[in-house]
Structure 1
């Protein structure tokens, strides 16, 4: 069970890393607007992913890896990111990803 949770966490981290990778045509992505049905589908998928990640964090609290305070901060951060996605019509903010990748290159 622990191996399954660790594997899932690793996949989640890789997904986040992939989403934060630089996009060469960021301008093209910003021009896209999802339909209402597409936004609803993305909303459901994002909510499911966040709830699953929160379950994993809660397990880490149960196992003593994270404190309750740390878990609450992590979960609040996830909620903020969801709100940002929602405000952007579920289009990822590629400019932010580009900024992070430029910082990584400079370090």
Structure 2
């Protein structure tokens, strides 16, 4: 009797979790929020600081021999492309931009 109750409870919990995943599938990846110009300016400043710090970090890795010059240039080129895309999107980050999640950064909703 105890095994049967546990089995029924497990099936019930499993069915609840499946419904949650199915409901989350259709949700947008970014909230539909309009940032004010002040908010965009503040985000731009913070992203610029992060970008310049990351560039400095990559250059140090190249200087110390962790990355080759070509590897460092490739990383910087990818970072620049991501930063430009972020600027184009008014600093609205997209969550889970990986192709295996079904969305790409350059894909419009």
Whether the TM-score (by the shorter chain) exceeds 0.5 is yes
Distance 1:33 1:26, change over 3 A: farther
How many pairs align?
78
Question: For residues 1-107 of structure 1, what are the structure 2 equivalents within 5 Å?
Answer: 27=28, 29-94=30-95, 96=97, 99-101=99-101
Contact 1:60 1:66 in 2 (8 A): yes
- The Cα of 1:28 is off from its aligned counterpart by 7.4
Any stretches of 5+ residues in structure 2 without a counterpart? 1-23, 103-109
- The Cα of 1:78 is off from its aligned counterpart by 0.8
Distance 1:101 1:89, change over 3 A: same
- The Cα of 1:45 is off from its aligned counterpart by 0.6
Contact 2:58 2:72 in 1 (8 A): yes
- The Cα of 1:90 is off from its aligned counterpart by 0.7
Report the structure number with the largest CA radius of gyration. Answer: 2
Any stretches of 5+ residues in structure 1 without a counterpart? 1-23, 103-107
TM-score normalised by the chain length of structure 2: 0.61
Question: Bigger shift: 28-37 or 55-64?
Answer: 28-37
TM-score normalised by the chain length of structure 1: 0.62
